[in-house]
Every structure is written in C-alpha cells, then in structure tokens.
Amino acid sequence: MHHLSSSEEIMYYGGQNHRPPATTEFTAGLLQCQYESGNLRYIRIGDTELVRMIYSAVRDRNWDTIIPKISNEKVTQQDDHFTIAYDCQYQRGEINLLAHYRIRGEEDGSITFSMDGEALSTFQRNRIGFCVLHPASAAGTDCQITHTDATQSEARFPIHISPHQPFKNIQRMQWSPTDEITASLEFTGDIFETEDQRNWTDDSFKTYCTPLDLPFPVTVHQGERIRQEVRLRLKKAPANITVHSQPLQLSVSEDEIPLPAISIGRSTEFDELTSSEVGLLQQIHFSHYRVDLHLHESSWLETWQQAVAEANALRWRLEIALHFSSQPATQLEDFLKVAPTNSIDIILIFYHLGKVASTELINQVLPALRRHFPDASVGSGTDHFFTELNRDRLSPEGLDFLTYSINPQVHHFDNQSLIETLQAQAYTVASTQQFASEAPIRISPVTLKMRRNPNATGVTPKPDPTILPPSVDSRQMSLFGAGWAVGSLRNLAQSGTSAITYFETVGRKGILAGNKVDDSFSLFPAKSGTVYPIYLVSRFLLTANDISVLPTNVSAPWQTEAIIFRVGQEIRAIVANLQSHKISLQLPTDMFTQVKLLDKTSFEEATQQPEKFLSSDFTKCSDTISLSPYALAFLKSNKSN
C-alpha cells in the first residue's frame, strides 16, 4: 500500500497509532509464518494453522500491557530457514525491563523463540514472558501434556468456553490438528498453563506463564535476569503439502431469523443532547436507550431525570442498568419513588462491589421491581466480561434474561487482532446457551475499548493528558470501526442472542461527534457536528422495527464482513472491507441490483452531510463488487427475493 497522508489514516483507522504493522513471510522447512513487530503469527503447514501467535508480554500489577520499543532488529532469511534477533525496552511508570529476543526457524520444521531479559529497575508485575496462542479451531482436539514433574496426561481443547484453565503445569504439549499432522511445543524458564481466551472474545486458547494460582503481583528486583524459551516442532507431516485458494464470496441461507433488538447507550461524556443531535439520532430505530444509574452516587437522580427527557425526545424506550452497593433496599426505595411504572422496558441488576450480581441481591430487589414495573423485562449477570459470568454462573431462574458486555481489547490492540475477535463473540453466546438452557441473552454493551478494569490490583494511574483515556479508541470514528461493527452485528445476530446494545450516542465512544467537541478531542480527530461511519451503518440497518436477517457465510471473514437483512419486501446488505488493500467480492447471484459506497472518495460528504449522502442515488451493481481499502458498501434490491 502506498504511503498514506494523515487524513487518510484518520479516515481509515483513526490515525497513525493504529497503522497496520509491516509483515514479512518466513519459511522453516514445511512451516510458513508471518513476522510483525517482534511477534510470530499464523504458523501453518499448508492450509492448517498450528499456532496463531507466539509473543512475549509484560503485564503490570493492574494487568495493563506494557508496549515495548523494538531496536537493533536483525533478520537473516534463506529459502527454508531464518533467524531474527532484536531488543525490546519495556518502560512505563516504575517498570523498566530490557530483553533480547532471538527466533530461529530451521529446515526440519522447528521454530525456537528465546528471551534473555534484565530488570533495570525494581517493580511489580503480574506477568513477564512468553505466550503461545492456539487457534480456536483447535476446540475438540486431543492433546498430550507432559507436566513439570515429568508425568503425562491426556487432555482435550474444550469445545465450550472453559471458565478455568484446561491444562496446567505444562512442560511440553503435543497435538494433531489433522490425521496427517502432529506438532509439539516445549517450554523452559517458567511454569506454563493454558486458558481459554474465548472468555474475552479472543479467537484462541493461550498457553502462558506464570500460573495464576501463584500470588501476584510479584516484585522483580533491579538486576534480576529472566530467561525463557519456546520451541515448536513439526513431528509428523504429509508428503505433499497443498494450499487451497477460494474466491472471496458471500453465501446466504434461505432461513430468515429476526434481527435482535439493537439498542444504544447514553453518552458518558456529555450530559445533555442538543436539538441537532436529537434530530440525527431520531432517524434510527434503536430498540432502547441504555442508561446507567449508580445508585450509590449522589448524581444518579440528575442522570435519571436527564435520561428520561432525552428518551422522550428521541422516542426510544429505556433500558436501565441499576448498580447497587451495600444498601440495595434503601437505594431501590429511593429509585422507585421517582420512576413511573410505565417508564422502563428493560432493567439490568448489577452489584457495584462485585463482578457478578449475587443471588442474594437479586432476591432482595427483584420482587419490588416486578411489582413496580410489571411489564418490564428484568435480568442480571455482569457488567464486565463474559468470563465473569462463565466463572460465576448465575442461575437464570426468576430472571427474564442473562447479560454481559463485550469489548475486543483485553489482550491485543492491533487491527488484525480486533478482526479476529468477531467470530469469537458468537462463541460466548453458544457457551452461555450451554449452561443457561433457554434463557435469553442480552449483550450490553458492545464497545471498542474496555470501559473499566475489574481485575486491577493497584490504584488506577492518574490520566495522562498526552494519550487518550483507556476507554477511548480513535478507531471509533473510522471506516475500520464501522466495518468491525458490521462483523459484530453479523456474528451476534446469527448466534441466537436476543438483544445487543452498541456504543453510545455522542462523543468519542459514540456514533456521532456531536456539537460540543472541545479540548478533550485534541487527540481524537473528529470534527464538531460530524457523524461517524458507524452512524451511517446504524441508520441504513435500523430503518424499521421489524427486520429479519438472512444468515450469511463469509468465505474469508478476516478480509471482509457483511450483514444481509430484509426490510419489508426489500433485501439489503452492508459489506465491509476490513483490510488495507483492495478486494473483489462475489455477491449472492441476482440478489442485489444497487450499491452506494462509503469510501475515501465519499467519506467527507458522508460524515459532514449525512442527509445528502443518504439521499444520493445508488448505482447499478453486478454480482461482483470491488471495495477499496476499508470501504463499506450499502446494497439493496427493489425486488422481493
């Protein structure tokens, strides 16, 4: 891809901080892999992916990842082997660690990744060392584990998302992803174990050090050395290796399913919507308006009163998240005094001091909520990650639904890793259905960043004015952000979830910038009054209350995403190119006749004059469309299919 201007990078993925890294393909015997920014990705033999990624991580006492600075990089590459060496400086706050890495890919199909690190300061850490990601496609695959005491056991990568570590005390593991292929991994320098990262919507299992049942954080003393090594070996392989290529295409099921109820959250940055913001938002048929009331805080009443006024102006029903603390009876009584019985459709019960609402809390507040809001649906679960609900499985008895939130940036933050999380979102729904029987699932909310850290073990650092707040991602206002949302919609809509709440209305976590852009936007390159591409996606999709989805299969979901749906007698679709290169996509035959593109050429008009863009003419399209980098296509057909 040619060198991009700053405005192009902002348009595509929110600025240079999210620029896709340079990648290089390497060969080690029969193995192929990709190197980028100190990590190995997509280690494969033919069409079979063995390892998703090998990388080293430094996590501070709050589980925040310290981004390293790479230097002294040296690469030697031959036809069937390679060597990479580089240094990494991990430095933030009290942490200062210098590590030298060496990667060797051999002709025999082995790859060795070694680390030699030295602490240049005394600090506390939760983790330092290698992580190996196994693709989620390994689910159901048998695995032989050699433990640190030299004993062996037979195991299996879990099919449903495991709440706890499926493999522990690992020195070596061996598995066969196909009948013809066997591989092994060997670990030295620490004790390793495996967790199911699908808990956080990563598309992988992760083998890491140090075991979580050991105390943390741990003090690392200045001068301490940390040495580790991971070795991947190809033990068995077919005589002939073939790589199959297929056209990039969409295929559609004949069975239609209802679109889940799609809601949006109230802005956590601006206290009041302007009339022009209300006008833009009114055009979208969101099901509900999520409002969080922290009943232990003095400001909740003002928030409630303002939210009711906004919901009335927007003509949306209310989804209220009630956050209780140590005095739920008193807090509920105060809330019921001001809340009319017909004002709320959805109620979520959360406990401010815990990750999952307890049965005791639910039993204490549910009867009064039922009496006061007889027509409302009441549910509970967690306001945090799916993993919290998976580990503390709240019974759905007496509740109308279970709920949890989703964000794609717990472990990795680059564009490609965010793309990988999309199909993993559906895994969380399938696993909830497995342990919660027929209980409806309401995912609320879906955001690009973690809203707060439920696992912090130390004081949250003071805000750094030179970087965006932890809950803000500039990709929110980009084409990539909108494409990611399209993929989330497809995977969750087709998973069987009953309702989804996405993002916020206005601000840096919203679907439009709003009219009150101020100094807080200095690192977030949105202009006052503009809408984000996610707004245009929402508006094209949510044009009515009765919409059905045509389940769609995407042949290469890391390249492109799409949602196909019916509005009345018209079939529509939103298709997104998730990559930095142009793609050609084959559509279902004779399904669509018209297309409108949101891309580099139309971005400025679409985001600054959305009414003009939306009312502009569609152009004729064929069964194959071409999408420039990060472009979105809005498709429709005037005939019933």
Does residue 344 belong to any structural domain of this protein?
yes
Report the CATH number at residue 604: 2.60.40.1180
**Count of domains in the chain?**
3
Q: Does 175 share its domain with 303?
A: no
Q: What is the pLDDT of residue 362?
A: 97
| CATH, residue 115 | 2.70.98.10
For residues 546 and 573, state if they share a domain. no
Domain final residue, candidates 554, 576, 591: 554
Same domain, 432 and 543: yes
Residue, of 522 and 548, whose pLDDT is higher: 548
Q: Is residue 1 part of a domain?
A: no
pLDDT of residue 418: 97
In this structure, the answer to whether residues 582 and 490 fall within a common structural domain is no
Q: How confident is the model at residue 2 (pLDDT cuts 50, 70, 90)?
A: low
70-98 pLDDT per residue, tens? 999 999 999 999 999 999 999 999 999 99
Angle at 314 between CA 308 and CA 318, to 5 degrees: 45
Given a cut of 90, is residue 240 above it in pLDDT?
A: no
Domain containing 214 equals 6-236
Helix-strand-coil percent breakdown of the chain, rounded to 5?
20, 40, 40
pLDDT tier for residue 51 given thresholds of 50, 70 and 90: very high
537 and 437 in a common domain: yes
Q: pLDDT of 581-638, one tens digit each?
A: 999 999 999 999 999 999 999 999 999 999 999 999 999 999 999 999 999 999 998 6
* 245 within a domain of the structure (yes/no): no
Separation between Cα atoms, residue 265 and residue 407, nearest integer Å: 14
Q: Assess whether 219 and 346 both reside in one domain.
A: no
Cα torsion angle, 127, 128, 129, 132, sign:
positive
Residue 473 sits in the same domain as residue 621: no
- CATH code, domain with 316: 3.20.20.80
Let me know if residue 243 belongs to a domain: no
Q: Is 451 exposed, middle or buried (0-12, 13-18, 19+ CB in 10 A)?
A: middle
Question: Hey, is 469 helix, strand or coil?
Answer: coil
242 in any annotated domain: no
Q: 239 pLDDT band (50/70/90 cuts)?
A: confident
Are 426 and 365 in a shared domain? Answer: yes
Distance CA 161, CA 504 (A): 29
The structure tokens listed for 211 are 């075991």
Same-domain pairing of 380 and 261: yes
Structure confidence at residue 638 (pLDDT): 67
In whole angstroms, give the CA distance from residue 137 to residue 34: 19
Q: Do 259 and 223 fall into the same domain? A: no
User: What pLDDT, on a 0 to 100 scale, did the predictor assign at position 116?
Assistant: 98
The model's pTM? 0.94
- Compute the distance between CA of residue 109 and CA of residue 233 in angstroms, rounded to an integer: 6
Domain boundary among the residues 554, 581, 601 is at 554
> Is residue 427 assigned to a domain?
yes
Last residue within a domain, chosen from 236, 267, 285: 236
Tell me, yes or no, whether 133 lies in a domain: yes
Q: Across the chain, how many H-helices and E-strands are there?
A: 11, 37
In this predicted structure, the answer to whether residue 241 has a pLDDT above a threshold of 90 is: no
In whole angstroms, what is the distance from residue 514 CA to residue 516 CA?
6
pLDDT confidence tier of residue 641, bands split at 50, 70 and 90 = very low
Mode of pairing for the β-strands spanning 110-119 and 123-125:
unpaired
Report pLDDT for 244. Answer: 78
CA distance 133 to 76: 25
Read off the tokens for 179.
Answer: 């009948």
- Does residue 241 sit within a domain? no
Same domain, 435 and 527: yes
Q: Report whether 515 contacts 274 (CB < 8 A).
A: yes
Q: Are residues 328 and 186 in the same domain?
A: no
Give SS3 for 334.
helix
What is the 3 state secondary structure string of 252-281?
A: ECCCCEECCEEEEECCCCCCCCCHHHHHHH
Other CB atoms within 10 Å distance of the CB of residue 246: 7
Kindly report the average pLDDT of the chain as a whole number. Answer: 94
